[in-house]
Amino acid sequence: MTTLPDHSRGNGPFDSAPRRLVRLEIPPRTILTVIVVILVLYLLFRLIPVILVLVTALSIMGTVAPAIEWLNRHGMKRGHAIGVIFIGLALIAILLIGLTIPSLMDQMKNLLEHAPAFHQRAVKYLSSSRLTAPLAGELEHLNLDSMGKQAASWSLNHAGQVIEFLTYALGAIFLALYMLIDRDRIRGAVFALVPRQHHVRLSRIVLKMGTIVAGYIRGQLITSALLAIFTFVLLMICGVQNPLPIAVIAGITDVLPYIGVILSVGPATLAGLGRGPGIAITIFVLMLIYEEVESRFIIPNIYGRALRLPSSAVLFALLVGGTLAGITGALLALPVAAGCIMLIEELRVELPGEQNLEEEIREKDERTEQEYVELTEGLPAEEASAIALKIADEHTKEELQQKKLEEEQKAKEPDNEQ
């Protein structure tokens, strides 16, 4: 920024002093930096599907990695263990499809055949009460043929998006498979880009990120299983035929925020129409009550324990993620929140409201990193990364053991005071 004198004078009483012209000069380096940042953000926006595929592949890796390591420790070669796990997952997927799709198609066919009779029964049922009589009048004027055509048109319009989603999902599975097979080379390439004195810290981050992903997947499996069991028991009590495929679909769709409620409650309610409008309404209300209980109590508690987040933080992260990026944001909100907290801890970031980190922790980190650098001097990055992960794993176990001892001591303090 340059300031130049201006000797022109005005005629007013306050214009006796000379003016100064201010000229803003933006350095070329700043302009170039802004352009590069804009281009990077644009590329990231355009590559969102690819980034999601990569994140999904990493999540799959984090989910199956413990099982692969367990088989490897018990004598099975790593390549064979990867094959066994993925073949097992493929068989489970085929079994679920075989159990759900044919039965669901039969129920949809039966529902379409008996739709006019269901319509008349629902109108008659609602007309029997003064409170529901206006609703019966609205329902009587519904054109089932027009609704069927609209549903078919909607399905055809969104068929391309479904195929695209399945293609990306299949790509994520194969990417995870290849990344597991080439784990050592990929890890060596990543560690080669990071200065060696930071390898131990990077290893701690990688290990804890895997723990976060595994905890997130474990929480999702628990919540999906609970919904599937609730749906199965509810439909069995209500006398609905073939409740298993509907329960499985409810558990699978529970993974999706927002639309998962519609995809789980809708089929169960439609299946209940075969037993009468009263049964269908009962299923609809009870499913909505369970969904509300799940979102307010079950999810915060289960994910809070799995990801070591407060229940309030779980709800807040879901709201923020859903508001910023819709379904995708809600899916990634919890692991991202847990990952950010973990990075603050591992990078030893001092927050304004906390006391300064003890010098012992910093000295221990520096001492460990220096010992690692001396130990791996001359080794390639691939071999050095394996040593760094081993050191980080030992230190992580020591920290967990120390935290456990501290928690036990705090639990004993009230007893000692009494």
Q: What is the DSSP string of 72-86?
A: HHTT--HHHHHHHHH
- The yes-or-no verdict on residue 270 having pLDDT over 70 is yes
For residue 348, what are its two tokens?
């030893």
Distance between CA atoms of residues 385 and 375, nearest Å: 12
Please return the burial class of 388, using the count of CB atoms within 10 Å of its CB with bins 0-12, 13-18 and 19+: buried
Whole-angstrom distance, CA of residue 198 vs CA of residue 200: 6
CB 31 within 8 A of CB 46: no
Which long-range contacts (C-beta less than 8 Å, at least 24 apart) are formed by 305-312?
306/215, 306/216, 306/218, 306/219, 307/212, 307/215, 307/216, 307/219, 307/334, 307/335, 307/337, 307/338, 308/215, 308/338, 309/334, 309/337, 309/338, 309/341
Instruction: Report the pLDDT value the prediction gives residue 87, as an integer from 0 to 100.
Output: 92
Residue 84 clears pLDDT 70, i.e. is over it: yes
Cα separation, 6 vs 38, in Å, equals 37
Predicted pLDDT of residue 409: 77
Q: Model confidence at 390, in pLDDT bands (50, 70, 90)?
A: confident
Mean pLDDT, residues 72-85: 89
Q: Rounded CA gap, 266 and 281, in Å?
A: 11
Per-residue burial over 136-169, b if 16 or more Cβ lie within 10 Å, else e, is beebeeeeeeeeeeeeeeeeeeeeeeeeeeeeee
Instruction: Determine contact, residues 125/277, Cβ cutoff 8 Å.
Output: yes
Residue with the bigger pLDDT between 333 and 225: it is 225
Q: What pLDDT is recorded for position 151?
A: 64
Whether the Cβ atoms of residue 314 and residue 297 lie closer than 8 Å to each other? no
Non-local CB neighbours of 291 within 8 Å, separated by 6+ positions = 261, 264, 265
State residue 159's pLDDT score.
66
Give per-residue pLDDT as tens, 125-145: 777 777 766 776 666 666 666
What's the length of the chain?
418
What residues contact 352, with CB distance under 8 A and at least 6 apart?
Answer: none
Given a cut of 80, whether residue 388 has pLDDT beyond it is: yes
Query: 125-129, 179-183, 326-330, 394-398 — which one is most confidently predicted on average?
Result: 179-183
What H or E segment, with its residue span, contains residue 125? helix 115-127
Query: Average pLDDT of the chain?
Result: 79
The pTM (predicted TM-score) of the whole model is 0.71
Distance CA 218, CA 212 (A): 10
Is the pLDDT at 263 greater than 90, yes or no?
Answer: no
Model pLDDT, residue 230? 94
Alpha-carbon span 82 to 60, nearest angstrom: 12
pLDDT in tens, 335-368: 888 888 888 877 776 666 665 556 667 777 788 8
The share of the chain scoring above pLDDT 90, in percent, equals: 7
Residue 225 CA: distances (Å) to CA of 81, 291, 294, 299: 26, 13, 12, 12
Token look-up 């999810």 returns 299
Write down the domain spans for the chain. 2-7+18-50, 195-351+368-405
Q: pLDDT band for position 147 (50/70/90)?
A: low
- How does pLDDT run across 286-319, given as a tens digit for each residue? 999 998 888 888 888 888 777 777 877 887 887 8
Q: What is the rounded distance in angstroms from the CA atom of residue 194 to the CA atom of residue 201?
A: 11
23-32, 376-385, 391-400: which is most confident: 376-385
pLDDT of residue 232: 92
User: b/e for 170-198, b at 16 or more Cβ within 10 A?
Assistant: ebbbebbbebbeeeeeebbeebeeeebee
Segment 43-72 mean pLDDT: 82
Contact (CB, 8 A) for 82 and 89: no
What is the Cα–Cα distance from 57 to 347, expressed in whole angstroms? 25
User: Between residues 396 and 1, which one has the greater pLDDT?
Assistant: 396
CB-side exposure of 102: number of CA atoms within 13 Å?
5
- Write the pLDDT tens digit of every residue in 11-33: 555 555 556 666 667 777 888 88
Give the start-end residues of each E strand in 7-144.
19-23
Average pLDDT, integer, range 275-295: 87
To the nearest 10 degrees (0 to 180), the angle between helices 259-272 and 78-113 is 50
Residues 215-225, mean pLDDT to the nearest whole number = 86
